[in-house]
Amino acid sequence: MGGLGENGFEVGVESSQIRRDMPWRNELKKMITERLRQLEVQGLMTREVMDTAPVSVQYQITELGCTALGFLDELRKWSENLPKHISDV
């Protein structure tokens, strides 16, 4: 498992851990993998295939990806302060 970035976000996590920690259905697992690979192509994440059995993949946020963390944290704070009738929709 990865460490925490300056905003408290976990910056490195194995994709198998995401699947283990959440009860994702197969379609969602595929969507997550596709999105992580898109983020890799865009330079926001790096992907490392680990030499383990079974094979695991670890994604790490890049320096470029870290530039979005402040914005994402502000978006999270904003969404937590929405009026209840909006946030329940």
**CATH number of the CATH domain containing 39:** 1.10.10.10
Into how many domains does the chain fold? Answer: 1
In 1-89, where do the E strands start and end? 12-14, 45-50, 56-61
Q: 20: how many CB neighbours lie within 10 A of its CB? A: 10
> Do the domain assignments include residue 4?
no
The reported pTM is 0.56
Q: Is the model more confident about 83 or about 87?
A: 83
> Do the domain assignments include residue 31?
yes
Q: Are 14 and 21 in contact (CB under 8 A)?
A: no
What is the extent of the structural domain holding 81? 12-87
> Do the domain assignments include residue 7?
no
> Do the domain assignments include residue 61?
yes
Give tens-digit pLDDT for 3-48: 555 655 556 667 666 666 666 567 788 888 899 999 999 999 999 9
Q: Are 70 and 7 in contact (CB under 8 A)?
A: yes
> Do the domain assignments include residue 2?
no
> Do the domain assignments include residue 3?
no
Peptide bond into 54 cis (omega under 30): yes
